[in-house]
A and B are shown apart, each in its own frame.
Chain A
Amino acid sequence: MASNKKVLLKVIILGDSSVGKTSLMNQYVNRKFSNQYKATIGADFLTKEVTIDDRTVTMQIWDTAGQERFQSLGVAFYRGADCCVLVFDVTAPNTFKSLDSWRDEFLIQAAPREPDNFPFVLLGNKVDLEPRAISAKRAQQWCQAKNNMPYFETSAKEGLNVEQAFLAIAKNALAQQNQSVDLYNEFPDQIKLTNTQKSNGGGDSCAC
């Protein structure tokens, strides 16, 4: 692909409520932080442009609601994601325990073609807070077992590691995209000028 082609990456942020998903996104996109907790209703959408190896990449960030009552809405958004960001709160052990179910649910709903190679990134947020419940080592172990998922310790409040984490997210997603470039120019699309044979195209078009 030519380097000047536009690239857009769909990034989904998942994690329990109040782990700081929206704050991370706000810090990354708007460089702002607020201590006030405002629950996300449904989902929020933000856009950020980054430059990676001379390519301009637009990240379409889907900040989903962590609260359980919005779950059914969230899963409808998973399909077609290029990267999934899992977030937990390093001071809240139960948010770490939920990671498995977040990841599993994502893989079921998004149904990526190669679930083992789908790019995830784990963020341990709120490292500015004490006391810490989940050590970096424990989080890294979890990541190792998950096909070496990259792990970043972040603080949305102080902007710590946020930029780096999102850059890694974009790079991972981009690498994944580049693996399968244009397989799509090869389909033989044939029109059969015949009245005796059933055409393939007819059936699926009516389902629209």
Chain B
Amino acid sequence: MADFDVEPGAARDNVLVASESFENFEQMSSSLEEIMSVNAISTAAEIEDDTTTNTQEDITHNQENGSEINEKQEDVENSLDWTNKRKHIFVISTAGKPIYSRYGNEDKLAWLFGVMLGLFRYSRDSIKSIHAGDTTYVFLSKKPLILVAVSKTGECVNQLTLQLNYVFNQIVSMLTLKRLTKIYDEKANYDLRRLLTGVDRLIDHLLDFSENEPAFTLGAIQCLPLAISERDSISKIIKDACSKIRNLVFAILLGNNRLISLVQMKKYHLHPADLHLIFNLVQATESLKYSESWTPLCLPRFDNSGYLYAHVSYLADDCQACLLLLTVEKDVFFPLSEAKQKIVEKLRMGNNLEHINTSLAALEESALATGFPELRHYLYKCKSTVQFYQPALCPPYTKNKVRLIELYKRAHQKMHCPTRPLKLSFERSSDEAVFSWDTKGFELYAVFEPLIDTASAINCVSKLLNWIKKREDKLFHLNAYTF
């Protein structure tokens, strides 16, 4: 179909941990196992002997900050408005105590949490889903918590489970799984909301975020378009500024929900699911813009038993890219703060800030603008690097992005249905035509004008793949830098 040997976006070094979006998500692993599995799948990664520096650092957890929970609306719990929400999400302790409800005050819904635990227990903890009319109820047991989705969105059980998994990971990223388990081992009646003050806001944001961004469904990351020399020069500046700092594991530069640069400690890889949580944290926390922050953060796929410590700051008032430096040391704020200053100086001197700003301001072009008039929108995911690209939104989806995302979710489900996965599908409705293609190297989902014929669609897809291939070094983060 398209004339190239390697799929667009593939790279010699994997920047991110490649994995299937559903399957591996069920379990979280420690960084150790993670590293082994990463080495196993990333064929390009060099296999060296295990002589990385061994450091053991006691990390004590900082006091949870005591910011106030925003009081939710009163007495909405019995209203029609509440009942008609398209998707409810609940988190329950195994004792049946409410921990989180997406809508309404969970205290007032305490009875409902009891009913949910009742259903779960009555099935001897084995219930996965209930289908009643247009509503799907999904239960996910993640000891010591139970997560429930009640959805009218038409998403399948797998997709809802994926979203619940993200919610669980968000909670783990604040507490670590070790601590969460220990708390409930010691006190089954513990009211977890004591430790999750402010986290409900992050979960709220995560849910909206995952319903508006294809990144979650694809299990992939989108990069800010930058010339390869530009991205390399940024990565090199970050690497050089941090090379002397012990135990720095990841340096992540992101802007506008796109990855700009990722530099990692040798042998350690960041999982896209962890990166999604980081994107969520940055996007949901306005206060990060105004100061340098220092926060403990557990990345569940990297290591769910402990914290990394993150130095978080925006590059400059005139450059709204956010830099995160993650280390296992709990008291290196000042060295990292100095490193950040150095990075900003060099980026400024090298005009990199300007280039980042230009790209942040320009955003992606629409498919129409790049010479594909019948193509409304598309998602291209390179599997080996778990990165994806999408053009700018265009009508009729600019006002209703969720509808587009749901189209993609349906298409994605068809390609990944556990019982009968498809490889290729072209489906036309009165509103649009959706082309989905799952190959060994990439996944492509393209939304066309409804009247396009099959031959033109295939022709267009072929042209599109060549177009992406030509720009792959700009659209994707290809070269991996390590400390």
Contact = CB atoms under 8 A, between A and B. Distances in A.
A80 B247 contact: no
B305 A200 contact: yes
Given A5-B194, A182-B194, A190 B111 contact: no
Contacts of B63: 185
Nearest to A48: B110
Nearest to B120: A76
Nearest to B60: A188
A113 B178 contact: no
A202 B97 CA distance: 27
Contacts of A6: 69, 107, 191, 193
Given A113-B187, A185-B63, A193-B247, A80 B94 contact: yes
Contacts of B121: 73, 76-77
B143 interface: yes
Contact of B189 (A10, A76, A192): A10
Interface in B185-200: 186-191, 193-195
Interface string B104-118: 000111111111011
B237 interface: no
B111 A207 contact: no
B95 A187 contact: no
A180 B114 contact: no
A47 B109 CA distance: 8
B30 interface: yes
A45 B69 CA distance: 26
A195 B36 CA distance: 9
Given A45-B110, A208-B143, A189 B95 contact: no
A134 to B, nearest CB: 31
The binding surface of chain B is classed by DSSP as loop
Contacts of A153: none
Contacts of B417: none
Contacts of B30: 199, 201-202, 205
A191 interface: yes
Interface stretch (B50-58, B275-283, B373-381, B403-411): B50-58
Contact of A201 (B107, B122, B265, B305): B305
Given A8-B97, A60-B110, A191-B303, A113 B186 contact: yes
B29 interface: yes
A181 B33 CA distance: 35
Interface in B18-59: 26-33, 35, 50, 52-59
User: Which of A10, A77, A201 has the most CB atoms of chain B within a 10 A radius of its CB?
Assistant: A201
B32 A10 contact: no
B183 A184 contact: yes
A47 B107 contact: yes
A190 B187 contact: no
Nearest to B328: A191
A81 B114 contact: no
Contact of B32 (A2, A7, A195): A195
B93 interface: yes
Contacts of A80: 93-97, 188-190
A197 B54 CA distance: 9
Interface residues on B, range: 35 or more
B9 interface: no
Interface residues on A, range: 35 or more
User: Which of A1, A202, A205, A208 has the most CB atoms of chain B within a 10 A radius of its CB?
Assistant: A205
User: Which of A43, A183, A191, A205 has the most CB atoms of chain B within a 10 A radius of its CB?
Assistant: A191
B304 A43 contact: no
B95 A10 contact: yes
Contacts of A202: 29-30, 32-33, 305
Contacts of B31: 191, 193, 199
B249 A208 contact: no
A196 B94 contact: no
26 contacts: A5-B194, A8-B97, A45-B113, A45-B114, A47-B107, A47-B110, A62-B114, A76-B121, A76-B122, A77-B96, A79-B94, A79-B188, A80-B95, A182-B194, A184-B182, A185-B63, A187-B60, A187-B176, A189-B298, A190-B306, A191-B305, A193-B247, A200-B178, A205-B29, A206-B27, A206-B29
Given A8-B191, A201-B178, 18 more contacts: A60-B113, A80-B96, A80-B190, A113-B187, A177-B189, A188-B58, A189-B176, A189-B179, A189-B305, A189-B306, A191-B303, A193-B54, A193-B328, A195-B50, A201-B177, A202-B29, A205-B28, A208-B141
Interface of A: 1-2, 5-8, 10, 42-43, 45-47, 49, 58, 60, 62, 73, 76-77, 79-82, 110-113, 177, 180, 182-202, 204-208
